[in-house]
Chains A and B, each alone.
Chain A
Amino acid sequence: MKKVYESAAKALDGLLFDGMTIMAGGFGLCGIPENLIAAIRDAGVRNLTVISNNAGVDDFGLGLLLQTRQIRKMISSYVGENKLFEAQFLSGQLELEFNPQGTLAERIRAAGAGIPAFYTRTGVGTVIAKGKELKEFDGETCVMETALKADLAIVLAWKGDKKGNLVYRKTARNFNPMMAAAGKVTVAEVENLVEAGELDADCIHTPGVFVQRIFEGKLEKRIEHTTTRKKEG
């Protein structure tokens, strides 16, 4: 079966529909599937629920889908960097569900691993645990959290082969591996598409079974906060 597509738009062909749930990899602007986000904007699907740790910035990343008001609901852990988000949220146009970052990661991991729910200490005694089942383990109260699935997962990897095996680079890995496993369909955008056999099989982060479609994207890779020091001596 052929997994390789020519472009983001072609890789998404037939997968998008109004009201769908999409999970998008990345932490801030690091490790985001830039071209897939832009292609979703161009496709114009609306009423989206988007699962992503953050919401991009005003004019980049998921901010693009906020500009066009394609997102109805965000499931995230932190959205501080986005003024557009704030405006749409405060005016009631955008729904928001906060998850503790580790709970978000684990809910996504659980979905990919076929685990419907799990218990965690995180959030017990806070608004996060409101209305959720509590249970005691070894004398400690834990809250039940459920798996978080999506119709489509869009992820970014540094290298990928034509069988869908993926390798991430540095902190651009973040949520991408769990999302790749949790999508009903997963589309991977890769910086470098290589032949099967070119990646070290011992060093593959996401095995190809989790990836249905793959394409090579040219990335801007914008940096959110450039912080440096002077060379010593």
Chain B
Amino acid sequence: MPWTREDVARRAADELQDGFYVNLGIGIPTMVANFIGEDKDVTLQSENGMLGMGPFPIEGEEDADLINASKQTISELKRTSYFSSADSFAMIRGGHIDVSILGAMEVSENGDLANWMIPGKMVKGMGGAMDLVAGVKKVVITMDHNAKSGAPKLLKKCSLPLTGVGVVDMVVTNLGVFRIDEQGMTLLELAPDVTVDEIKERTEANFRVADDLERR
């Protein structure tokens, strides 16, 4: 059985270590915050200028001056600090953020990422995605293994305009977990009842299977 969106978020949360500073993108990445264990001290960064992002505010306590990068009202924590967009991207570009978890339209076997633009459709913009993938120490992608049409999203080469070249370190899909490094793409883990053959069928990218392939 493939993983649900929650399962994917839970698996991505395993990549967060105690003491990490982390930036979470929109969609499944946002859900990762719900699965960070109590034993881990993880600080969330919001690129609009906040370190130490808290949960949504209690009803009636929302503050127009306190939003996340998706423009949703949020709350602050005791550890919170605020800063300008220039300082925020100094953190991001300067390599001070440990992990960024983002969504993707396409990922190539060498770690190229496309997640901001489909030619011919209205382009909303890249926001902070290009800076995040260029600067954050580790980039983890969470996404469905295939597009709604069934087309593979893990490709030999991306067809859409890129967000970054060779920037992705790990991909968690509903079918399994992949590592991308100098050796190329490696399948590390399988979702329950998913077979290597099934993944091969649904993937265009070349990948090798880890010797210690794990079934979750």
> Which residues of A line the B interface, CB within 8 A?
27-31, 53, 76-81, 86, 89-90, 98, 100-106, 108-109, 120-128, 158, 168-178, 205, 221-231
Contact = CB atoms under 8 A, between A and B. Distances in A.
A228 B49 contact: no
Given A123-B134, A174-B49, A80 B63 contact: no
Interface residues of B, number: 53
Given A101-B127, A105-B89, A121-B93, A223 B62 contact: yes
Contacts of B64: 29-30, 172, 221-223
Interface stretch (B5-13, B67-75, B178-186, B193-201): B67-75
Interface string B36-80: 000000000011111000011111111111111111111010000
A101 B165 contact: no
A78 B124 contact: yes
Contacts, number: 179
Contacts of B88: 102, 105
B85 A101 contact: yes
Main secondary structure of the interface of B (DSSP, over half): loop
Given A170-B65, A171-B50, A229-B57, A126 B84 contact: no
Contacts of B92: 102
B103 interface: no
B192 interface: no
Contacts of B123: 98
A77 B125 contact: yes
Nearest to A228: B59
Contacts of A104: 85
Given A27-B48, A77-B125, A100-B126, A175 B71 contact: no
Contacts of A122: 93, 130-131, 134-135
A199 B180 CA distance: 51
Interface string B145-172: 0000000000000000111110000000
B83 interface: yes
Contact of A102 (B69, B89, B112): B89
B1 interface: no
23 contacts: A27-B67, A28-B71, A29-B64, A77-B127, A78-B125, A78-B127, A80-B124, A100-B130, A101-B128, A102-B47, A102-B128, A124-B134, A124-B165, A125-B112, A125-B162, A126-B161, A158-B65, A170-B82, A173-B82, A176-B84, A223-B67, A224-B71, A227-B72
A126 B130 contact: yes
B86 interface: yes
Contacts of A178: 84-86
